[in-house]
Structures are given as structure tokens and as C-alpha cells.
Structure 1
Amino acid sequence: MIGWPALNWFVLGFALFLSFGSTALAGDWADAAVARKTEGALGLPKLDHPSDNPPSAEKIRLGRKLFFDRRLSLNRTMSCGMCHIPEQGFGNYELQRAVGLEGRSLRRNAPSLVNVGYYKTLFVDGRETALETQFVSPLIAKNEMANPSIGYVVELVKSLPDYEKKFEAAFGGPATLQRIGQALAGYQRSLIAANSPFDQWKYGGDETALNESAKRGFALFSGKAGCSQCHLVGKEDAVFTDQSFHDTGYGWMREQERQNPPTTQPVEVSPGVVFHMSRKQIDDVSGPALPDLGRYEVTQDPADSWKFRTPSLRNIELTRPYMHDGGFARLKDVLAFYNGGGAPHDRQSQLLRPLGLEKSELADLEAFLKSLTSPDFSKLAEEARVEAPDNW
């Protein structure tokens, strides 16, 4: 899928440029972020912090600066915030799969980072276990920010004079690998958004917060449809994930499609304008499609082939496209996939089965999923844009 034309990106970028500093945040935004991390939000449990990385406003301010600094990529053009866009739920709903340095394609969709602090493992294959170390991979991956080594990045940050005082304020010393990770982790853990209509109904006791369709959808979600077997809902809070890995059949299905590609491919050149190009035309200007075996790539255990981590469903209405590679553009497509039992094969999870839900039941399920949207997204985006990014 091809995203907006370059002109649209220019217009969006210019509008964002004009917006920097136009809205004064009440008080100190970083202090508010610390309070959010320590006090929690309706519907979510209190967030755990590593004992060696307690939250502070100075770390969050520094982490935000690092997150949006394009100087930290090899050719000074890419930042974390260019794939995890604040106005798009800290993901990217314009592209099916992420694009890194010099337009190099990734295999997977850029996931939302909102509520990322609640995951026990990171990346959809679970290859990282802490936000303090997760940042290394994107910085040195050749198709992401493409730095030659993580030591190179550390020396680069140390050489930039605008960071010296900020590291002193946050850590009492100069930039190090550990401190860079702690600052980035501190900022990302502050990206918390709950208090959704569902939370206000389920955990706040407000019967008027949820409409009847969404209430019926929740009954299906936790009953007939069986969604809550993996997307857990507790009595006092809900992260909406079992933190585990499952083969739903989707990864296997995509591998069959990779090995047997269609003769033509739809390419969206602008919203709603689609051309069907021949497979040969696409192959002539692109690299080969690569397999994605999910959790197997971490464990090397064949039993883990095509298993991916259960994602949280919070704010799912705002974090399209869906699945690990962004293969579904609409919630309706996701629901249709699971209603049909996924893509059955020998290793598919036994938790999946054809559901046989009626059209009205699918509509109720979608209404419930949309009730998980937090009203706090705009606040997180406002905090993210409190200053223009470095190398703007």
C-alpha cells in the first residue's frame, strides 16, 4: 500500500510546524506525565517501574527530546517519532508496514506505543523484555535508523551540546547507553491512555457511559465469541492481553500468500484511488517479500512458528491498520477473520473456532471495541509537540 503523495505530507508537516508552541500546556507537562505514570488511570492497573529507573520529570523531558531527534539516525533524517506519530496514536495509520531510512521497507506495521509500559515483552515476537533496552534494535537496524553501532549513537549524543545539561539534570552525569535507554523508557511509559467509555461503565459505575450496542458487544466478547480468553478483562482493570503468544492462522495464511502471490496488486495512490499493477511491475522495483515466522525467530522452536504476542485492544479504533503486518485496514475485516475461525492449519491455536456470529452481533462487537477509545489521546499528542523536533 502506498501512502499519501508527497504534497500531502508537506502540508501536514507545515501544519504541525505552525502548531508547535501555539498551545500553552497548563503547568509543566512533564510533571503531569509523572503523575499519570504513578497514579494510573481508570481501567488500568498501577504501572510498575524498574527500581533503578524511577520516574522523574527531567527523564521524561529528555526522553521526549531523544524520541523526536532525527539526528540520531545515520543520515539525520529519521526519528522514533516518524514511525510512531503522536497524532496517529503513536503508530502510523497511513502505511501498512513501516518505512525506515531512505525508504527501506520493514516487514511489520508500526504499532501504537500508547500503554506500551504494560507489556511484559516488546515487539510482536517478544524479543525484548524491557523498554530500557528495546531502543537499541531500531537504532542499528539497517532498514530503520541504520546506525553502524550503538556505541556510535552514544558518542553522537555525547557530542551534541544541547544534551549535556539535560543529562546532568536527569542523571547527574553525561550520556551513556544505560541513561539513553532509561530516558526513552521513562518517556514511553508516560504514554498512558485509559478512562474510556468502557472503563467509566465497567470500573467507574456509570451506566450511561456505554450504549446498549456496546454492552451487548461486551457480553459477546466475554462469552459467545470467546475473545476474552486471550484479551483478558479483570475485575478491577483490564490491559486486554494475556501477554502470551498464539498462532491464529494469520501468519501462516500470509506465508501462503507470499509463496503464491497474486498476479496483480492493488496500489492506493491517494485516498480512495486504487490502481491494479502487475506483479512483474512491482517485482522490478522492489525487493523480495520476506517470511515472518513470529516467535520462532526468537526461540528457534518449530512449535512457535507463526505465533505472535496478543496485542492490547485499548484504543484499537485509532490504531489501524491491524495485525502484525497491517494486513487488515478495518475492524470489520479483523472481526470477519475471527468469525470465520481464522485460517485453520495444523498448528493453529485450539482456542480459535468458527463463531457463526450474525451481522448484528458483529456490529455490537465493533461498537464495544470502539468504546475502548480513550479521551486522553489528544493530550499525549499535545505533550509530544511541546517543542519542535531537533533537526526540523
Structure 2
Amino acid sequence: MQTVPAGRVFVNGVAILLAGVLLIPGSPLQAADTKSSWAEEASRRASEPVLGLPKINHPEENQPTPGKIALGRKLFFDRRLSINRTMSCAMCHIPEQGFANWELQTAVGVEGRTVRRNAPTVLNAAFYRVLFVDGRDTSLETQYIAPLVARNEMANPSAGYVVELLRSLEDYRGAFEANFDGGPSLDRIGKALAAYQRSLIAGNSPFDRWLYQGDERALNASQKRGLGLFKGKAGCVSCHLIEETHAIFTDNAFHDIGYGWWREQQRQTPRDHQQVEVAPGVVYPVPHAVIASVSEKQQPDLGRYEVTQDPDDRWKFRTPSLRNVAVTPPYMHDGGFAQLKDVLRFYNEGGRAHDGLDPVIRPLELSDRDLRDLEAFLTALTSPDIPRLIEEARTAVPDNW
């Protein structure tokens, strides 16, 4: 780790501000200009392939335009869209934290209500065929409704309630009419939010420049060895796909890697004490009974089964993309691993064996050096374009700031 000026540190080649703002070397984050043509640039990016990624397949009825993207950004940051006007989409998907949330294992909704799952990054969400880790939605145009009405998220009494709210807000007057064929409605809200999220494309990583542009200097020796392990002995590529012209690093399928099953065993039979980190590097054992006395009861999570009700789908979760994984911790569907090395160790041990374990999961017998090389490769999947996406996101002060 190398300390550099302005309170910035380099971790595995990625520059991170100590205040919690994510930066990539060579791409300084500057104050956003509200008069700039950011939405035009975002629309172009959503319409043309980015190095390493395929062209986005936009719905015919929702092609990207600067106006839609700008309106979607406004909705994404508007805290008035929650029941008590305190929560926005961006409060769980924080631009400066890779459009994820570094601080929390699982998300927190209005009034501090507990959410079972980690808030994943929305970077490159355009390339998922199904949404949420259990695949319960299939379109960015409709995905937004679930968080709006979930009692432990934004807690609105109904989606129609939000439509009426937007119709009453003066600063939205004419905004939907200017971009669609009418005022606020469920489908138009979804189209605007989807248009903005499909503009959050982050490719052009060192890996992409090495593989798709032939730049041998883009990866160092450790990262190249890690790629060899990724495609070979470790077998990661069987689920995190690399194709001839692009790589989205997911098969968009559901797998039981043993993690969900293992976490359920822990939930049912908790340890007497739990290690609690009260400050960096300062950990105390706290009795489970004490934690339970001040906590909401932990709920089970059966993954894909909760959508299909098929017993064969228990503990299966959607394969996440690994793009920008080094800057979007914590990891797993419940944020149970804080660092990439924890994830790699889990896979190296063969997940957690039980009857439903996916046959591709097995002990890998990787050395410590192998694990370091794999982690080095994963840092090469970080896009240098993220600071620009942060800048675009902050083109205006969020509504109800």
C-alpha cells in the first residue's frame, strides 16, 4: 500500500480516497458541471459498444435519449420517493462506492429497517438477463417497483402512491411529457430509471485492453498468471464467462456453491460469541444473546427457490459479474465476506459440501501465490471510466438534500 497526497491510498493499483470516494489512477474526479453535455455522452455510451462489453440490447420501446437518462438520474437520487422522504436508490447504490455500499453487509431501509441482502453494484446491470440475485424480475423497466413498496426498503404503500406523488411535485412538471407521450406513470418511471442505469457502463479495463486490443503492458506478470488460473486450474471461467469479442463475466445462471446452505446452518445454530469489529483492527467477542437482544431476528434466505418454489432451486443464486469486483465490496449475496481473499479462500476450500452442491465446485488446491495471482487478476477488471460515471451522477445536488 502506497500513501500518496490528498489523503489517497493505492490498494492493488486502485486509488481510493480515505473519505470513501472511489478514484481510478489516471482518471481524476472533478466537480461536475451542471451545464455540461453529460447526458448526451451517457446516451452515446449506452448506444455504442464499450471495449470488452457487447452492445446493449435496449427494448425497442425504450431507446436511450439524453432526456430520459437525465430524468432517470433525477429519480435515482430523489429521496422524496420513499415513504418518509429519506431514502433514494442512490443511498444503497452510492456512486463514490462503485454504485454499491462498502459500509454495510446488507442494506438498510427507511427507519433503519433490516434488508436480508447486500446492495449490489448497478454498474453494467444492463447485461443481466434477470435481476436480483434470485432472478425475480426480468427487466430494469419493472425492477424498481419492488424496492419502492418493500416495507424494509422505501416502504411506500403502493406504486400508485409514488405516481401521484410525482404528479404533485412542481420540479417534475413537464419532465415526463418532454420525454414520453404523457405524464408520470408506472411504465414511464421505469423507462426513465432503466435508461439511466443502462448508461452506467464500465468496461475498458486493463484486462480488456490486454485481450481485445493486444496491449501486452496492460497486465503485469501476476495478473497474467491469475488469468491463466482463472481459465484453467481454478475453473472460474465455467460460470464467469470470457468470450471471443467481449466478457460480461457471468453466465446469468443460478448455482448452489454451498454458501447459502452454510449461512443457513450458521443462522440456525449460532455461536455463543460473535467477533465484532468496533474499530479498524479492534475486535471483541460479544455474546450472541446480547446481539440478539438488540437485533431483528435474522430471516432465512433460500435463494432462487423463493421465486420458483422448486426444491431443486434451494440455495441457488445468480452468478454475479466480476467486472469492477475489486471496488464493490462486500461480497456474496449477504455481504458475508469483506475482502476478495476471503471469497477466493472459500472457493479454494471447495465451498461447503452438501447434497445440492453444484458439481463444478470442488477443492482447488491452489497455493498462496496462486490465490494472490487470482486476486491480482480480479483487480485488472476495474474500469477507469468509473470516475466519469460518478461525475455524471453528481451533476446536481440530489433532490431533498
Shorter-normalised TM-score: what interval? over 0.9
1:376 equivalenced with 2:399 (yes/no): no
Distance 1:25 1:64 in 2: 13
What residue identity is the alignment partner of 2:75? L
Secondary structure, counterpart of 1:203 in structure 2: helix
Which of 353, 358, 369 is the equivalent residue of 2:362?
353
User: Deviation of residue 84 (structure 1)?
Assistant: 0.4
Aligned residues: 376
Q: Which residue of 2 aligns with 1:99?
A: 108
CA contact (8 A) 2:248 2:323 kept: yes
1:188-209 C-alpha deviation (Å, 9 max, x unpaired): 0000001000000001111111
1:72-87 pair list within 5 angstroms: 72-87=81-96
User: Deviation of residue 172 (structure 1)?
Assistant: 3.9
Distance 1:266 1:30 in 2: 46
Runs of 4+ in 1 over 4 A off after TM superposition: none
User: Deviation of residue 233 (structure 1)?
Assistant: 0.3
Q: Which residue of 2 aligns with 1:118?
A: 127
Secondary structure, counterpart of 2:276 in structure 1: strand
Query: Any unmatched runs of 5+ in structure 1?
Result: 1-10, 14-19
Q: CA RMSD in A?
A: 1.6
User: Deviation of residue 168 (structure 1)?
Assistant: 1.8
1:164 equivalenced with 2:198 (yes/no): no
Q: Percent identity?
A: 63
Distance 2:345 2:212 in 1: 29
Q: Which residue of 2 aligns with 1:245?
A: 254
Distance 1:242 1:259 in 2: 31
Cα distance change, pair 158–25 in 1 and its aligned pair in 2 (3 A): closer
Q: Which residue of 2 aligns with 1:273?
A: 282
1:254-309 C-alpha deviation (Å, 9 max, x unpaired): 00000010111223333333332211111111111110000000000000000000
Distance 2:380 2:394 in 1: 26
1:310-329 pair list within 5 angstroms: 310-329=319-338
Secondary structure, counterpart of 2:213 in structure 1: coil
Distance 1:168 1:296 in 2: 41
Distance 1:104 1:23 in 2: 33
Q: Which residue of 1 aligns with 2:220?
A: 211
Distance 1:132 1:170 in 2: 15
CA contact (8 A) 1:214 1:371 kept: yes
User: Deviation of residue 161 (structure 1)?
Assistant: 1.1
Q: Which residue of 1 aligns with 2:51?
A: 42
1:233-261 C-alpha deviation (Å, 9 max, x unpaired): 00110000000000000000000000010
Which of 73, 79, 104 is the equivalent residue of 1:64?
73
Which of 301, 316, 319 is the equivalent residue of 1:307?
316
Distance 2:237 2:31 in 1: 42
Q: Which residue of 2 aligns with 1:179?
A: 188
1:145 equivalenced with 2:154 (yes/no): yes
User: Deviation of residue 26 (structure 1)?
Assistant: 8.4
Secondary structure, counterpart of 1:275 in structure 2: strand
CA contact (8 A) 2:331 2:337 kept: yes
1:25-36 pair list within 5 angstroms: 27-36=36-45
Secondary structure, counterpart of 2:174 in structure 1: helix
Distance 1:317 1:142 in 2: 31
CA contact (8 A) 2:348 2:364 kept: yes
Q: Which residue of 2 aligns with 1:232?
A: 241
User: Larger % of helix: which?
Assistant: 1
What residue identity is the alignment partner of 1:320? P
Distance 2:347 2:30 in 1: 44
Distance 2:380 2:303 in 1: 30
